[in-house]
Structure 1
Amino acid sequence: MAESSDHLPRLLCLHGGGTSAMIFKIQTRRLQWALRSTFKFVFADGPFESGPGPGVLPAFADCEPFFRWLNPDSQFPEQDQRRVRQMLRKIIKDDGGNFVGVLGFSQGARLTAGLLADQEERNAWEGIPIWKFGVMLCGSFPPLSLSLARTPTTKPSQGIDEHGETREPDEDEIIHIPSVLVRGTLDPHGEKGRRLVRYFDQETAIAMAFKMGHHLPGAAGDTTSDKGDTQKIVDAILKVYADSQP
């Protein structure tokens, strides 16, 4: 009989846009196995249904519905932020465990950065844990805040392009919570990942780049990333978790 993980600290897992908790559970199976004695992985579905995201088809064609964390057509961003908060609160409350970290992929990594940014700005919401660390995989830019005090992107700025804001983050926007940021050098969205890194303190963040596309190392069909890349990510996660301890 498999040993129960109920006694372990929790890692909240946020999927990418156009996927789901079930798909992300499959995509992170290597990380789960390597960290099975350290964390319990808890997966959440985004609140907005969508079409399939990049790389979802044809492998997960029968895994509908697909979800997003961001509603691109919404005219009411504050209501959308509230829906995301409510969904995360429910997942956290229903599990009932001790959540210490948050891990996200792509759009989920953007939300991960937003949760950390909100905490830094003292906008931690009731029912949302105090995060000790974050992990962003193939992260998207910019951080997606759930704070009604901020816009769904970041502070207004001059000069917007298809990647979001072009300016450097202000000093008060830098995130100091220990974090791991992973990107692929062959990722077509790699520029967004490079920009996301700028929002994190170089003293407390570990930025890693691997020869891969917009996926995790060792994904189905991946012939580029090294077999040891997953272990390097695992080691980085364990380090930031250790660094977060008092």
Structure 2
Amino acid sequence: MAEPSNSHLPRLLCLHGGGTSAMIFKIQTRRLQWSLRQHFRFVFVDAPFESAAGPGVLPVFEGCGPYHRWVIPGSSTPERDQQRVRQVLRKAIADDPGDGEFVGVLGFSQGGRMAAGLLADQEEGEATGLPYWQFAVLLCAGYPPLSMSSERAREEPKGVVDEHGEDVEPEEREILSIPSVHVRGTLDPHCEKGRRLAKYFNRETSVSMEFVMGHHLPGAAGDTTSSKGDTDAIRDAILRAFAGDLKAGGDEGAGANGTRSAQITV
């Protein structure tokens, strides 16, 4: 049952990474949840497809399976898979006992790519039967987005570089204007894919934050570079996105080692 203290709050749909679970993601985001406890109710959902444990899940979450993922690599039935994902998301939304409006979607890694896909589908008028997303939070997410549009899913994503070895810039029609917060780790092997994903979001309605960390959130087990200020910076960016007030800021926050740990660009 929803707690009386937060059942009325606006809700965030939370999508875990590949090879993890809703329960694991709830643990991974505990600092962020605490910092936003007066503003949002977090609703976690398991992806529909079981999988092996994802990178970094073991040994910390040994025995915490089953683990799940949002896509099946090389699936011969992508349209049926997309339908299954829609069903899972709709059920999680319908079953949650909170009564606040669903206002945003928050995703980590593969879940972040799914969140980006939900925004792309919304901007193109795709009928998914899901809430209208006012903003998204993309944590350690990479390119390309995971769309639930059958047509877009069949398209091959553009390469990272063109025939001259130069970065391919997105076309104007591909830029998403829904407010978004992008959080990346400079030590994350997927950081460049995250920077590429951010290019597909309007700079006037998005904020990108980079921390000295790997493929995880500040404060993860074994993390020695982040501080409480890093989580506070993410919290503040999320609140600005919800308010529709993402404005340019400079460097923000200092890591535990005394170095500047977060760069914010809009």
User: TM (normalized to structure 1)?
Assistant: 0.91
The answer for the alignment partner of 1:206 in structure 2 is 207
The alpha carbon displacement at 1:188 in A equals 1.0
The answer for the alignment partner of 1:101 in structure 2 is 104
The match for 1:132 among 114, 131, 134 is 134
Amino acid at match of 1:141: Y
Q: What secondary structure, in the 3-state scheme, does the structure 1 residue paired with 2:63 have? A: coil
The answer for the alignment partner of 2:86 in structure 1 is 85
Matches within 5 A, 1:231-246: 231-243=232-244
Amino acid at match of 1:45: D
The alpha carbon displacement at 1:157 in A equals 4.1
The answer for the alignment partner of 1:121 in structure 2 is 124
- Identity over aligned residues, as a percent? 65
Amino acid at match of 1:133: F
Separation of aligned partners in 1, 2:95 and 2:227: 38
Separation of aligned partners in 1, 2:201 and 2:57: 29
Amino acid at match of 2:109: S
Q: What secondary structure, in the 3-state scheme, does the structure 1 residue paired with 2:150 have? A: coil
Separation of aligned partners in 2, 1:81 and 1:134: 20
The answer for the alignment partner of 1:15 in structure 2 is 16
Q: Which shows bigger deviation, 224-233 or 101-110?
A: 224-233
Deviations 1:148-193 (A, max 9, x none): 23116x56546789xxxx6322211111001100000010111111
Which portions of structure 1, spanning 4 or more consecutive aligned residues, are displaced by more than 6 angstroms?
158-161
Amino acid at match of 2:230: D
CA 1:236–1:68 in structure 2 vs 1: closer, same or farther (change >3 Å)? same
Unaligned runs of 5+ in 2: 246-266
Amino acid at match of 1:48: F
Amino acid at match of 2:72: N
Q: Which shows bigger deviation, 88-97 or 40-49?
A: 88-97
Tell me which structure has the larger Cα radius of gyration: 2
Report the count of equivalent residues.
237
Aligned residues of 2:144 and 2:157 also touching (Cα < 8 A): no
Aligned residues of 2:52 and 2:67 also touching (Cα < 8 A): yes
The alpha carbon displacement at 1:227 in A equals 3.0
Q: What secondary structure, in the 3-state scheme, does the structure 1 residue paired with 2:231 have? A: helix
Aligned residues of 2:213 and 2:225 also touching (Cα < 8 A): yes
The answer for the alignment partner of 2:5 in structure 1 is 4
Deviations 1:60-88 (A, max 9, x none): 01100000001103111111111101110
Q: What secondary structure, in the 3-state scheme, does the structure 1 residue paired with 2:136 have? A: strand
- 2:169 is equivalent to residue 168 of structure 1: yes
CA 1:157–1:34 in structure 2 vs 1: closer, same or farther (change >3 Å)? closer
The alpha carbon displacement at 1:117 in A equals 0.6
> CA RMSD of the aligned region, Å?
1.8
Separation of aligned partners in 2, 1:67 and 1:223: 28
The answer for the alignment partner of 1:25 in structure 2 is 26
The alpha carbon displacement at 1:36 in A equals 0.6
Unaligned runs of 5+ in 1: none
Aligned residues of 1:124 and 1:130 also touching (Cα < 8 A): no
Separation of aligned partners in 2, 1:28 and 1:84: 22
Deviations 1:184-223 (A, max 9, x none): 0010111111111111000000111010000000111101
Separation of aligned partners in 1, 2:144 and 2:153: 11
The alpha carbon displacement at 1:5 in A equals 1.1
Q: What secondary structure, in the 3-state scheme, does the structure 2 residue paired with 1:208 have? A: strand
Q: What secondary structure, in the 3-state scheme, does the structure 2 residue paired with 1:134 have? A: strand
Separation of aligned partners in 2, 1:175 and 1:149: 18
Deviations 1:24-77 (A, max 9, x none): 000000011111111000001001100001110001011000000011031111
Aligned residues of 1:184 and 1:214 also touching (Cα < 8 A): yes
The answer for the alignment partner of 2:64 in structure 1 is 63
The alpha carbon displacement at 1:93 in A equals 1.2
The answer for the alignment partner of 1:43 in structure 2 is 44
Q: Which shows bigger deviation, 130-139 or 73-82?
A: 73-82
CA 1:39–1:80 in structure 2 vs 1: closer, same or farther (change >3 Å)? same
The match for 2:153 among 145, 151, 154 is 151
Aligned residues of 1:12 and 1:102 also touching (Cα < 8 A): yes
